[in-house]
Structure 1
């Protein structure tokens, strides 16, 4: 039976749902409304438009075959009527109508619907400080906002910028400003690490150090108190300074990237079920509490598939998948979206960070008796040109060995994302470290090592959980090294003499060297009344040394996971 579907929101989820439904029911009618003038654009590409990597804003709106996704495109190629600059004001569920207003003219009308789709997206969290409304203070709210920033920067009007927030958008914007335009860029984050909540502390330090080497300054553990204009206050004019809890920073541009909130006011006003955090509640078919209204994308709350708890994950990849499911179900299908494990990746200059599932702090907060291990290894055969370092942190549950998540940092972004995607696909089926250790991986020297880093990381986790190895990560090593003067620890470098020479020269009283291959014959040189800290390049030889010492009766021994590679990458001062 023919029906009229009204879709509110035309950026990611809305167009996907509308086009899918029309393919399944060509005789039905779809009306899509959006308060913006520009629709159906790749919002995640905005930082790359600002950086200049994407030269024209239209490229974010084009299809792969270079057609502009505007109103005419949807009308002619998709059979969807699109009304831009049209705001949805209210939903009358009893009458099954939506009251809308055409913003340029103020004209209002009622749109009757048989089924309604809410793809209202999210709203940037405001910065609640004086001066947040000054000229030159921007949030990444839309493609139009991005065009304003690009025009300002490309016109030479920005020498110094402050980015508030060290999440995905904040770091991408910092790279865009510092790399392409040479803007002196400072990132202010009130938490004590970058990418908080999604990346482990040691990997975060490694990523931060790389960005610092590229010219970005970080001020962590600081809060923005005010934004001031040239007049010194928060009144009229353009931004001149950002006042934090510890400093005053000069700025010609401020980018606020402190997260987003679901845009669910329309749903709440209509009496739909909305969570305390503001996400619209939907079932596995993406239906709201009203069976004739569907919702998806950044405005909804989802189920975290590992914990089973509600979670808010505003990701474009999820919105597109949910849009297809909604389109199918509008046509009478029973497609399901079971939730998400939470997978992500971000480019940071010449590094890529990526992850899936739970971090160690998140796993502990969710009630798991969890532990994590760190491995740093080459991403392909050690003898193949073009190899790069990859660092992985695997989170697993003690006792069961269940894998709960993995995060990583690498030179080769595609290689890292490939490993993360493998784990993401497995997580809903509750794999163990043993499963991951025995996982079949495609191998050829240009692409991987014969024993893939994913297998190696799982094997390390299995050894640690079974008590066959005791590892410490870079931050734990740093704490022990800072107390070296107390003489309670014996730091043993298991590498060959040439690798250890520099540290031996700098710290002859604290740094010691016995190559792993010689250790069994030189046990008498080791103290039995001190804890022994083993280190090598990546942690492989120090594990072998650990086994040797454990067999010889040494009990207070730890091995540095990721080795000196991880320690130095994290910026530990030696």
Structure 2
């Protein structure tokens, strides 16, 4: 008798596992069930449907050859049965049956299985506050939410929006509302910077500065207490202020939907994610799980993590499909790579931030570099920022994050390092990484090589410096504790000398050896240039001359300007 595989959940992982399995075992029977009427769609495209980049919601449901992935598609093209509007109530592992209910008729039934896949996804984190369910409040978790939000703003029913949470979805929706629709948008974040689980404060300040330039209001360290309004959302109340809003987007993260697995006696994590092994098997060898409801191995820390990404679900789905057919495919875990667009800038990363590394018990350092994304002489070049986190003891790369205008170029660099991190790599590996070179695409000494060499130097006790935020705090003291030395040519330094007389000083790097007497030895010397390269050379010169407290501004003036810390900014 042909094997019967039942899959609970039919958005990303479920369809991938089902299709892979059917290709390997065409005679087997596969049944997918899902609570929703809409299955197999690209949820990560929702913000771009709201923005208008994706014009028709159906595009998120179609194949590359324009067929809609609905029940008929799966039945006719894949020989897979799909039961929509069907809720899985309970898993009877002993009898190997799933108890289900038809949400339209209320009818109860049982579906027998030989192998089972749990792909129940994740649910938006509820705030449990008054007014959370008012009209005008949306979580943007599915295509129904996407349609409701777009209908509301396209009808002119919302002029001001508040987004709660500054993670991926929160910022992507904030951009969509502000950029395409011209809404006044405020983002409220409980932590002290945007993308707090993904990038360091240094890169966050760059993203925040760009968001502010685009008119997005940002409020950090604030807790949302309530949504108020007369029958619909009109105000968001935090512990520090009240913000007017007709549209409220709840984007405070998601939680894995592992209740069904837990109630069936399967192993789950404290946060509720289904625990799986390298074969994507649960604690029951006849039940697999993956996607947003599961936890996977964190390759960097060796622990587990929840990584709700469609790309992750698809890769895991293929592994599960192979193993359902008797294979032994493995999923090694992940370093947690990501990428996102923010107006005219982009953010990408993989692995741990410096703060996360410290929390995980690593003694780590971070190296930040700003460099052109292609040859300095090639037209169209632009600055890119990379920050790498390295374990001091093992020299292992624990994480890399970046910020820049050329999204494909940024993702290419981060992707290359993420691939190395899967197998384990060191700062030394980055400094000699063979990255494809041609002036229109990269530099002869690529920024990935440069960030590796900077990390190597810092591990050797060289190139000690300050971040843009630390520089800003020191500069507020107006030279009381530090001597600020601009190593650029005089025409670059002139506006700063004029505005900050007696505080800002200038000696071009090429003149430094002859003018050492102009530099005090009883203060910390903070060196500045455009991107941190000439100031590093100046640091070596001063230390060779016996100066004991010399700091280089990592990323230079470019980092200050991108972070909004430029001393000459209005």
TM score, norm. by length of structure 2: 0.98
Aligned to 2:403: 409
Give me the whole-angstrom Cα distance separating, in 1, the residues matched to 2:241 and 2:560.
30
Aligned to 1:92: 92
* 1:382 aligns to 2:376 (yes or no): yes
* 1:481 aligns to 2:475 (yes or no): yes
SS in 1 for 2:110: strand
* 1:280 aligns to 2:280 (yes or no): no
Aligned to 1:519: 512
Matches within 5 A, 1:63-462: 63-230=63-230, 237-462=231-456
Aligned to 1:233: none
What displacement does 1:573 show? 5.1
Give me the whole-angstrom Cα distance separating, in 2, the residues matched to 1:47 and 1:105.
33
Give CA deviations for 1:478-533 in whole Å, capped at 9, x if unaligned: 11111225x22110000011111111000011000011111111111111111100
Aligned to 2:33: 33
Give me the whole-angstrom Cα distance separating, in 2, the residues matched to 1:357 and 1:264.
25
Aligned to 1:549: 542
What displacement does 1:468 show? 2.1
- Given the alignment, which residue of 533, 541, 545 partners 1:540? 533
What displacement does 1:141 show? 2.1
Give me the whole-angstrom Cα distance separating, in 1, the residues matched to 2:229 and 2:240.
19
Give me the whole-angstrom Cα distance separating, in 1, the residues matched to 2:481 and 2:109.
78
Give me the whole-angstrom Cα distance separating, in 2, the residues matched to 1:515 and 1:2.
79
Give me the whole-angstrom Cα distance separating, in 2, the residues matched to 1:103 and 1:397.
52
Give CA deviations for 1:45-74 in whole Å, capped at 9, x if unaligned: 000001111001000001111111111111
SS in 1 for 2:234: strand
SS in 1 for 2:413: helix
Give me the whole-angstrom Cα distance separating, in 2, the residues matched to 1:529 and 1:427.
43
What displacement does 1:399 show? 3.3
- Is the 2:268–2:275 contact (alpha carbons within 8 Å) kept by the matching residues of 1? yes
Give CA deviations for 1:75-96 in whole Å, capped at 9, x if unaligned: 1111101111111111111111
Give CA deviations for 1:219-243 in whole Å, capped at 9, x if unaligned: 111111111013xxxxxx1011111
Q: Runs of 4+ in structure 1 displaced over 6 angstroms? A: none
Give me the whole-angstrom Cα distance separating, in 1, the residues matched to 2:99 and 2:309.
28
- Is the 1:464–1:471 contact (alpha carbons within 8 Å) kept by the matching residues of 2? no
Give CA deviations for 1:191-217 in whole Å, capped at 9, x if unaligned: 110000210101101001101111111
SS in 2 for 1:522: helix
Aligned to 2:24: 24
Aligned to 2:552: 559
SS in 1 for 2:225: strand
Give CA deviations for 1:455-481 in whole Å, capped at 9, x if unaligned: 011111111110122121111111111
- Is the 1:7–1:30 contact (alpha carbons within 8 Å) kept by the matching residues of 2? yes
SS in 2 for 1:111: strand
Aligned to 1:234: none
Per mean C-alpha deviation after superposition, the further-off stretch among 419-428 and 177-186 is 419-428
- Is the 1:399–1:465 contact (alpha carbons within 8 Å) kept by the matching residues of 2? no
SS in 1 for 2:441: coil
SS in 1 for 2:218: strand
Give me the whole-angstrom Cα distance separating, in 1, the residues matched to 2:382 and 2:42.
30
Give me the whole-angstrom Cα distance separating, in 2, the residues matched to 1:141 and 1:342.
21
- Is the 2:122–2:255 contact (alpha carbons within 8 Å) kept by the matching residues of 1? yes
Give me the whole-angstrom Cα distance separating, in 1, the residues matched to 2:210 and 2:201.
14
- Is the 1:3–1:114 contact (alpha carbons within 8 Å) kept by the matching residues of 2? yes
Give me the whole-angstrom Cα distance separating, in 2, the residues matched to 1:518 and 1:349.
41
- Is the 2:165–2:188 contact (alpha carbons within 8 Å) kept by the matching residues of 1? yes
Give me the whole-angstrom Cα distance separating, in 2, the residues matched to 1:406 and 1:448.
18
**Gap regions ≥5 residues in structure 1:** 231-236
Give CA deviations for 1:126-181 in whole Å, capped at 9, x if unaligned: 01211111110010221111111111111111100000000000000000100000
What displacement does 1:550 show? 1.1
Aligned to 1:497: 490
Give me the whole-angstrom Cα distance separating, in 2, the residues matched to 1:89 and 1:226.
32
Aligned to 1:467: 461
Give me the whole-angstrom Cα distance separating, in 2, the residues matched to 1:567 and 1:558.
15
C-alpha RMSD over aligned residues: 0.9
What displacement does 1:400 show? 2.6
What displacement does 1:427 show? 0.9
Aligned residues: 567
What displacement does 1:276 show? 1.2
Give me the whole-angstrom Cα distance separating, in 2, the residues matched to 1:299 and 1:529.
58
Give me the whole-angstrom Cα distance separating, in 2, the residues matched to 1:367 and 1:192.
22
What displacement does 1:451 show? 0.5
